[in-house]
Structure 1
Amino acid sequence: MKLWLICYDISDDKRRYHVSRLLEGYGERVQLSAFECRLTPSHFTALRNALRRIVGSDDIVHYYSVCKWCAEKRHVQGSAELTHSQAYYLT
């Protein structure tokens, strides 16, 4: 298995929800639009194919391969837990 950092910027709320839900099935959310996923090559391919069907032409997804050495040297500052904020709109 390989560690991947997957970050996204999705412009549409519905697509962003679907991307988020899909990634929750593959890894751990570490920021609002970033996930750490430990994936086999076949799971990585399946995830990329699934995201390809969701992501629009004005969206972007970044896939960063994280080597074992880099993962072990990772630093985390703070202990706050990520909260899931509700979407709201000002009218």
Structure 2
Amino acid sequence: MADRPQLRLIVYDIASDRRRRKVVALLEPRAARVQESVFEARLSQAQLTRLRVKLEAVIAPEDSLRIYTVPDAALRRCHIQGGPMLADGARFWLI
């Protein structure tokens, strides 16, 4: 199976302003910010792995970082209300 991009929901709670800024700097070029600590991105597994390595180098044990993969079949059940457009023009808002 090809390593095709899938929707990834990246959520974090980071206590340190400095570490949080570093995480945001890693995410902003690759993902759309949909809430203060929530990003959405279409990433292949290889892209996600590379991003995770970079993120894990920044976060501390007391931080929380979660990455959820949203299967394509589940996107039909997602409700969209406002929010930014993803880089490929698709709109997703998970509630």
Name the TM-score, length of structure 1 as normaliser. Answer: 0.80
What displacement does 1:80 show? 6.6
What displacement does 1:72 show? 2.8
What displacement does 1:21 show? 1.4
Q: Which moved more, 1:43-52 or 1:19-28?
A: 19-28
Q: How many residues align?
A: 80
2: CA distance between counterparts of 1:23 and 1:39?
Answer: 12
Deviations 1:18-55 (A, max 9, x none): 10111112111111100111111111000000001000
Identity over the aligned pairs, expressed in percent? 38
The amino acid that maps onto 2:19 is: R
Q: 1:53 aligns with which of 43, 53, 57?
A: 57
Secondary structure at the residue paired with 2:7? strand
What are the ranges of 5 or more consecutive residues in structure 1 without an aligned counterpart? 82-91
In the superposition, relative to structure 1, how do residues 44 and 80 fare at CA in structure 2: closer, same or farther (>3 Å)?
closer
Name the TM-score, length of structure 2 as normaliser. Answer: 0.77
1: CA distance between counterparts of 2:6 and 2:51?
Answer: 13
Query: Which structure ranks higher in relative contact order (CA pairs < 8 Å, sequence separation ≥ 6)?
Result: 1
- After TM superposition, the runs of 4+ consecutive aligned structure 1 residues lying more than 4 A away are none
Residue 16 (structure 2) aligns with: 12
Alignment of 1:25 with 2:25, yes or no, is no
2: CA distance between counterparts of 1:15 and 1:63?
Answer: 17
- What is the alpha-carbon root mean square deviation over aligned residues? 1.4
2: CA distance between counterparts of 1:71 and 1:9?
Answer: 25
Contact 2:34/2:83 (CA < 8 Å) preserved in 1? no
Q: 2:67 aligns with which of 56, 60, 63?
A: 63
